[in-house]
Amino acid sequence: MFKKVLIANRGEIALRVIRACRDLGLKSVAVHSTADADSLHVRFADEKVCIGPPPSRQSYLNIPAIISAAEVTGADAIHPGYGFLAENAEFAEVVQKCGLHWIGPQPEVMRTMGDKVSARRVMEAAGVPVVPGSTIIETDRQAEEAVERIGFPVIIKATGGGGGRGMKIVEDKSRLFAQLAAARSEAQAGFNNPAVYIERYIGKPRHIEVQVLGDGQSAIAIGERECSIQRRHQKLIEEAPSVALDDARRVELLRTARKATAAIGYKTVGTLEFLLDENKQFYFIEMNTRIQVEHTVTEMVFGVDLVREQMRLAAGDPLRLPTEMRPRGHAIELRINAEDPVTFAPSPGTITALNLPGGIGIRVDTHIYAHYRVPPFYDSLLAKLVAHGDNRNVALARMRRALDEVVVEGIKTNCDLHRRVLNHPDFIGGRFDTHFLERL
């Protein structure tokens, strides 16, 4: 096992990694921008290094500065968290060439699975069902041929992106070429890569993802998460297990995910994402080669420390978790964001008063505190509020109680939106899809 881990990230995930380091008896190094000098991850790490000004490209995306910080502090491993450089294969290669442990998958696997077209090709070869679609679309004629074969409606997607950018739904041919140009433009602006492809558009899907782990020789899938409550393809509420799956479909999904993970020789923690259509047929859509924001719900239900397992695997240890694990109860996670609950505009500023909930079955992962200044430069996530119970009804009751205990003054949050969702009869009854918030 390595001795000192540099966390190339900020906020709650940096704190999460620091806690795992302490549980393992490892030293931690926090890197930070000047805007994050007073952040909790900086305060609680064993060492800290300022790597630049607030703009991400000058700090958290600055590979030379991060490597220099590791060399100066004597860190022998780097954990990328999620976002920023977490799925950057070039960064992973640099880390390894500098003789450091990379707490993540092999760079070549990151490249393959980070490109949605190549990922689809690999999954198809492994016998994993994928949404009918195309290869990279370079000309209008290729687009015409693709939609003739796939049929409308279709969705245009960026090959190297996510979060809804470079993604356009097309209902008929009259808008195809204009939307294709718009998707390319967004993909270029967001990911410096204009490549796009086309898939059949599934109208009312559930978004289901599977937590997987691999050591290069074997793989396990330890459960699924329901991530259908989302706004503009950004997840807001996650839960485990999914109420949309019966036991037979769950077994099939987990078996498929395990087979797919083993097929690529995956080493570390990752997530396979699927769409579930109205007929309960699932289709692979992408793989996240990192720890997920919502890994906490899986931890609560299965009683496993995924970040600790991630570090063990990075140190060369084999998988030790059982091949099949049964969930214990139900967990729900809310993403508490600094944003207007109606317009969703970001709401940076100083938190003038703060109370975080507690009690049986409640977990809060956060980096905020009273008088903390939420900077305007980064993601708006303030906290992840997780409730666990013996069943979904108990978890829902605990989450409503916990949400009523949340006090964040001085800025706006999306707590009122969460209350509306938690009390909606369709959400309570498990009757929802990825367009739920559009109808709320």
Residues 6+ apart with CB under 8 A from 152: 170, 171, 172, 173, 201
Residue whose pair of structure tokens reads 């084999």 in the numeric block: 318
> 360, 284, 239, 18: which is closest to 127 by C-alpha?
284
Residue 342 DSSP symbol: T
249: part of which helix (H) or strand (E)?
Answer: helix 247-263
Helix (H, G, I), strand (E, B), or coil: what is residue 433?
coil
Asked whether 226 and 244 are in contact (CB, 8 A), the reply is: yes
Alpha-carbon distances, residue 313 vs 218, 256, 308, 366 (angstroms): 12, 22, 9, 26
Helix (H, G, I), strand (E, B), or coil: what is residue 196?
strand
- Helix, strand, coil percentages in the chain from 3-state DSSP, rounded to 5: 35, 25, 40
User: CA-to-CA distance for 52 and 50, rounded, in angstroms?
Assistant: 6
> 336, 257, 21: which is closest to 6 by C-alpha?
21
Asked whether 334 and 406 are in contact (CB, 8 A), the reply is: no
Strand segments, DSSP code E, in 63-153 are 77-79, 101-102
- Which residue out of 10, 111, 290, 398 is catalytically annotated? 290
Mark whether 363 is an active-site residue: no
Residues 6+ apart with CB under 8 A from 423: 400
User: CA-to-CA distance for 7 and 134, rounded, in angstroms?
Assistant: 38
Strand partners, 388: 331
User: CA-to-CA distance for 7 and 5, rounded, in angstroms?
Assistant: 6
Question: So which residues are the catalytic ones?
Answer: 290
